[in-house]
Structure 1
């Protein structure tokens, strides 16, 4: 499998409010492989919204919580997200999740208001034991619908979230920005950290059904967030070669990382594969709906060592 540079002409700056980055990405044939955000720790805070363009600048997040979340992000690598049930219901109390995807756990609590999040102690988020909240055993399915951040997320994400919620009402949440607006609709499964992109309502149902049965769907799989991008690329290449779709069948380890290439070990059962991942840049393109100028996204080409 390869994720190669795309022979594109440079797109103009986005001055047209009708421009949609997800349409541009599809028209360019931009690969989904190795595009999952590289984050393993999450704080999910239920807030029906509406949400501002950035979570930590949103006035609905109380100042003490915003300040703490900023420090948690710096110190512990926690990604703060706002979530809501499809339909923007406004229940009280609010649901809070803390997730460590590297260790595969999610813990939860409820608060009367987001002000109470400031009383949480998240210093243990890096441990396998968690932060002392109630263990949450069911998957958490996040669909980005953050329209104030990028129009594509709302336009493509809300129909997907609504369709999934009809099937799995207790598992599905709309989410603020997950990363990769141009791959909307985006779906993230927690606590395992798998990212899927270009979801449509029908395909999303199929993807979730397979995921809940223990298999990923390569066509829509962006990668697993606990792995760096070069490891996501190497894993995808080995999975494609072997036809391996089991969620937990593959482990990776980056042996060497240079600016333009990396060497990655990929383990499938007792078998070991060593892949070289060449890193380059695609031709510049508008990567969000509001991009003022084109940017060059990284590309990955995988070959045997």
Structure 2
């Protein structure tokens, strides 16, 4: 396939690559509103003040940048902190008058945020599939949840685009399109894990993600889940590198 025509998500789907167990494993995440374009290294290439970019790069936790699907920004800068729990994530939030106030912000003192958040990966400078598939999904969800829908930087797993992280549940979805995204998110709100679209519950290892989905499907909670080396494959449209994957067996 010519380089210009390669799409990692199409290749993954054509190969029937398993999606289960591929949700992000980050136990603590900081989400910061950063309107405007993002570069391939979004944390460094954005329109936030230099002091804020340096501060975010120094933090010992995963940072995602957010923007509204319609390109609007402000007033203020939304900040969310999500910490993994046995049930999903504990989400805290604040609205800063200016992004510079993020430097020195006490993240442990943020008030609780209970409304749903839909984070759709759309950074096209990192991967074409995320932009081409993710942006229409984000626009669709924003009509249903205008305050809770955000475009976000790299969630991991470009090849499962369109990808989405739901908070506070922590459910990560993949292989979404505009025909499935709305119903899938409504199902997540109802406590369901949409079959064929659920990558797992983020914030926990892949083995635990697979075990939860196995049990939810009626399997034994005592089943052994084994992680094994999977095929080496190209995982992104953004470069030609190949990497090893992981597959899971349930015994």
Same fold by TM (over 0.5)?
yes
Q: Does 1:21 align with 2:4?
A: no
Tell me which structure has the larger Cα radius of gyration: 1
Which secondary structure state, in structure 1, belongs to the residue aligned with residue 81 of structure 2?
strand
Q: Which residue of 2 aligns with 1:85?
A: 68
Pairing partner for 1:143 from 102, 105, 120: 120
**Equivalent residue, structure 2, for 1:170:** 147
In structure 1, stretches of 5+ residues that fail to align are 1-13, 123-130, 243-271
Task: Verify the 8 A CA contact 1:165 1:172 in the aligned structure 2.
Answer: yes
Q: CA deviation at 1:84?
A: 1.1
CA distance in 1, matches of 2:137, 2:4: 23
1:236 paired residue among 184, 197, 213: 213
1:274-297 C-alpha deviation (Å, 9 max, x unpaired): 222232222221111133232221
Greater shift, 21-30 or 49-58, is seen at 49-58
Report whether the alignment pairs 1:53 with 2:40: yes
Q: Does 1:161 align with 2:129?
A: no
Q: State the TM-score, normalized to the length of structure 2.
A: 0.92
Residue number in structure 1 paired with 2:184: 207
Which residues in structure 2 correspond to 1:85-164 (within 5 Å)?
Answer: 85-102=68-85, 104-122=89-107, 131-164=108-141
Q: Gaps (5+ residues) in structure 2?
A: none
Alpha-carbon distance in 2 for matches of 1:298, 1:18 = 26
Q: TM-score, normalised by structure 1?
A: 0.77
Post-superposition Cα deviations, 1:66-109, rounded to whole Å, max 9, x if no partner, equal 33323322xxxx21111111111122212111111327322211
Q: CA offset at residue 51 of structure 1?
A: 0.6
Q: What displacement does 1:178 show?
A: 0.8
Displacement of 1:15 in angstroms is 7.1
Residues 78 and 94, structure 2, Cα contact 8 Å, conserved in 1: yes
Number of residues paired by the alignment? Answer: 249
Cα distance in 2 for residues equivalent to 1:23 and 1:84: 26
